[in-house]
Structure 1
Amino acid sequence: MTASERLINQLRLGPKAAVAVHDPSNMFYLTEGYTGEGLVYISEASRVIITDFRYTEQAERQAPDFRVEMIGKGRNHNKILAELVKAEAITELRVETNYLSVDDFEALRGAVGEEVSCVPLNKVLQQLRQIKTPNEIVVIRKACDITSEAFNAILPKIQPGMTEKELQIELDFTMLRLGADELAFDTIIASGENGSLCHAIPGSRTLKNGDMITMDFGAKVGGYCSDMTRTVALGQPSDEMRKVYETVLRAQSMCEDALMAGKTCSDIDKLARDYIDARGYAGRFGHGLGHSVGIDIHEDPRLSQTCNDILQAGHVVTVEPGIYLPGIGGVRIEDTCLVKENGCVPLTTADKQLIIL
């Protein structure tokens, strides 16, 4: 079953209803490959990409099962959408009100006319995207393989005196050289005292002996992301940072052991949080335990204190506890994991034991 067929089934879309999709990630999912701009129109009768000259040939190549309509003078995206709606006598159009600006929504509604009811799509596509298909898992696994391999390749290049920015550039280039289409997100490098910054921006700080270095990075392959964090020591770390590392590693391992279909997201988060608190670091693990990964780097469901969703086989989620000590440093360890009926499979496979360079 194609993604567009899954959408039609999920919405029970009748002959008088259609969907207009503007979110690029949802467009990619529905077309199973289109990465350009414009919008996608789905009905029982039609599969259409509406775009401009820059992307028409690309759309034909990437989504051969879709008809491509090109905008032109006096015939913009909304005008073509209105033509399709009128030709098929559509009376209900589902739209991404969570994605469109107020002005864009009003322009769309004005184009299709008052006789067409514009109804929120309500993130139905994001819900469909939660359970990964076997083909999607293959691609995500490849992205994770590249990410893990890049970590192993970068270790010999980490030296005292290089800057965080230089390490980021080396790591990014390594992922691209190994086959990444692009980066899944901006790489985080946090060394020494900067390790307490969860989303540190790599800068001019030079790496020093005794530093813990947190590297949070991921490759994107075939439109799908990976996400992995490893923290290494450059020379011998302090006793305190060894304890921090051991605590985070134990919390991460406990959660991966517990991760499986049927578990509640918040319960998995609590497992890590309670352990870290009990080890004397209450309040120093301030973010959620993890998030789903797919076309976007952050998807639902989330492993967090506030998410009571039930995990299902086919979810791909990160497990990434951390401890952050202002003025001292921090540790985060993260895997991208595939949830299965009776457990999970870590798709990022680089060594998690403390590496001392």
Structure 2
Amino acid sequence: MNQRLHNLTNWLSDEEIAVAFVNSTENVFYLSNFYTDPHERLMGIFICEGIKPFFVLPQMEVNQLKDAGWSNDIIGYQDHEDPWEKINQKLASSKVLSNATVTFETEFLTYKRAQAFLNNFEQPTIIPLEDKLNQMRVVKEDEELEIIKRAAEMADYGVSVGIEALKEGITEMEVLATIEFELKKKGIREMSFSTMVLFGEKSGDPHGNPGTRTLQKGDMVLFDLGVVLDGYCSDITRTVAFQSVSDEQRKMYETVLQAQLASLEISKPGTRIGELDLAARNVITEADFGEYFPHRIGHGMGINVHEFPSMSHLNEDHLKIGMVYTIEPGIYIPNVGGVRIEDDVYITKDGHETLTKFPKELMIVG
């Protein structure tokens, strides 16, 4: 049994929880080093009092699971079979009491599958599993950090490719395609989210959709992208000016940059997470752009590009050594344009390390 699974099993014992079912692809990967997208099919790990943890998944992926190092029991099933029949037999062999305490990912498991699971018990006590798994994943191990660093390097590279591709008349989608093509040539199979390349007034939409808008002199260009590397994500945003920049655009950019630096300055162990948001928000508000900063300062990052914790001003938790998250203040003026600057940040014992390294000073390109 690997150390992560061992730690979770010990916690279940300490909390007197008889059965746990983990079935989100991300948490299954975290506990087993096996990643697959089962689509609509059932997949997961059962950790049950009285028997060793066992894995359920489609039969066609059993060999991949073994290759990933899983050595405990496996329940493989064909598409025409009901996996719950085999699962229920396995749970019955454990002799867990009908009024046992059980846990699963309540935000992920469907109602139908939760019913199938809970039908094994008459009066179970249900405890959500998300909090425990979030707390386990929020502090990155050295091996995880090294992967995220390499993913951040690829994100930096993606921005540099995008900037090099800029020329008058090119479309957002053409630049986006160039970025992803060059990353695939580097071995990147998957982006961590839909790549954004936004020109001019479209950069004023925080989650805009790239299209056929062509690049023109005086446009701000917003790049937001990340890659998945060995199961871990990166996420970077940079904004540049094409050929020229107005005084208002420069003011927006410098305000966002100072807001990000203010948040980074207090990124160290023990800082209340909400203070990171407030530090940046105060800078933007004092520059009279407060109404144009509509989102939190950032989010946790690792196996998921957006994961625990949510970095809002209301978060009362404190930064811990080993946490990885984004700092991404922005100003977005509808139908005019916007600026966002985002980095991936790792908390060290002495402060923080910024994992994305692409320059942040205002660049006028083209």
- Cα shift at 1:225: 0.5
Instruction: Specify which of 51, 54, 79 is matched with residue 57 of structure 2.
Output: 51
Q: Residue 222 of structure 1 aligns with which residue?
A: 230
State whether residues 12 and 18 of structure 2, in contact with CA within 8 Å, keep that contact through their aligned partners in structure 1.
Answer: no
Asked if 1:39 is matched to 2:44, the reply is yes
- 1:26 alignment counterpart: 27
Q: Decide which of 350, 356, 365 is 1:348's aligned counterpart.
A: 356
User: 1:9 aligned to 2:10?
Assistant: yes
Question: Is the alpha carbon distance of 1:163 and 1:267 closer, same or farther for their aligned partners in structure 2, counting shifts above 3 Å?
Answer: same
Is 1:235 paired with 2:243? Answer: yes
TM-score (norm 2): 0.92
SS at match of 1:280: coil
Number of the residue aligned with 1:108: 117
Aligned residue number for residue 202 of structure 2: 194
| 3-state SS in 2 of match to 1:63 | coil
Equivalent-residue separation in structure 1 for 2:205 and 2:340 (angstroms) = 11
Say whether residues 1:84 and 2:84 are aligned partners: no
Instruction: State how far apart, in whole Å, the 2-side matches of 1:16 and 1:241 are.
Output: 56
Equivalent pairs: percent with the same residue? 31
73 and 33 in structure 1: CA distance in 2 versus 1, 3 angstrom threshold? closer
Deviates more, 1:219-228 or 1:170-179: 170-179
Q: Are 1:285 and 2:290 an aligned pair?
A: no
Residue 131 of structure 1 is matched in structure 2 by 139
**How far apart, CA to CA, are the structure 2 residues paired with 1:199 and 1:167?**
17
Q: 1:258 to 1:120 in 2, by over 3 A?
A: closer
Given candidates 164, 178, 184, the residue that maps to 1:170 is: 178
Question: Partners in 1 of 2:218 and 2:17 — Cα distance?
Answer: 66
Whether the 8 Å contact between 1:26 and 1:126 is mirrored in structure 2 is no
Q: Structure 1 stretch 222-231 or stretch 16-25: which is displaced more?
A: 16-25
Q: Whole-Å Cα distance in 2 between the matches of residues 272 and 16 of structure 1?
A: 42
Q: Secondary structure at the match of 2:118?
A: helix
User: For the structure 1 residues 65 and 14, does the alpha-carbon distance in structure 2 shift closer, same or farther, using more than 3 Å as the test?
Assistant: farther
Change (3 A) 1:303 1:96: closer
Q: Would the alpha carbon gap of residues 307 and 68 (structure 1) be closer, same or farther in structure 2, given more than 3 Å must change?
A: same
Question: What are the Cα deviations for residues 77-115 of structure 1, in whole angstroms up to 9, with x where unaligned?
Answer: 2222222222122233322222122222112222x2427
Deviation string 1:99-158 (CA, Å, 9 cap, x unpaired) is 122222112222x24276554324321221111111111111111111112222332211
The answer to whether structure 1 residue 64 and structure 2 residue 70 are counterparts is yes
Give the counterpart letter for 2:56 in structure 1: I
Supply the distance in 1 between the matched residues of 2:69 and 2:47 (Cα, whole angstroms): 13
Asked whether 1:98 is paired with 2:107, we answer: yes
Equivalent of residue 207 in structure 1, options 198, 201, 215? 215
Query: How far is 1:187 from its partner?
Result: 0.7
Look up the SS of the partner of 1:159 in the other structure.
coil
Query: In the alignment, residue 109 of structure 2 is paired with which amino acid?
Result: L
What does residue range 288-327 of structure 1 map to in structure 2 within 5 Å?
Answer: 288-327=296-335
Corresponding letter in the other structure for 2:110: S
Query: Which amino acid is 1:263 matched to?
Result: T
CA change 1:16–1:213 in 2 (3 A) is: closer
* Correspondence list, 1:333-344, <5 A: 333-344=341-352
* Matches of 1:74 and 1:286, distance apart in 2: 48
Q: SS where residue 283 of structure 1 aligns?
A: helix
Q: Structure 1: which amino acid aligns with 2:12?
A: L
Q: CA deviation at 1:289?
A: 0.4
Q: Distance in 2 between matches of 1:264 and 1:14?
A: 28
Secondary structure of the 2:292 match is coil
In structure 1, what residue type is equivalent to 2:297? Answer: L
Greater mean alpha carbon deviation, residues 39-48 or residues 281-290? 39-48
Where does structure 1 lack aligned partners over 5 or more consecutive residues? none
- Cα RMSD for the two superposed structures: 1.9
Tell me, in whole angstroms, the C-alpha distance in 1 between the residues paired with 2:262 and 2:244: 26
How many residues of Structure 1 are paired with residues of Structure 2 in the alignment? 356
Change (3 A) 1:73 1:272: closer
- For residue 179 of structure 1, the aligned residue among 176, 187, 194 is 187
- Which consecutive segments of 4 or more residues in structure 1 shift more than 6 A? none
Q: Write the distance in 2 (CA, Å) between the matches of 1:74 and 1:203.
A: 42
Alpha-carbon distance in structure 2 between the residues aligned to 1:254 and 1:105 = 45
Does the 8 A contact of 2:327 with 2:344 survive in 1?
yes
Counterpart AA for 1:126: N
Query: Secondary structure of the residue that 2:34 maps to in structure 1?
Result: coil
- The runs of 5 or more residues in structure 2 that have no matched partner are none
Q: 1:11 and 1:108, CA in 2 relative to 1: closer, same or farther beyond 3 A?
A: closer
**Greater mean deviation of Cα atoms: 56-65 or 140-149:** 56-65
CA contact (8 A) 2:197 2:224 kept: yes
- How far off its partner does 1:175 sit? 2.2
Instruction: Give me the whole-angstrom Cα distance separating, in 1, the residues matched to 2:14 and 2:273.
Output: 31
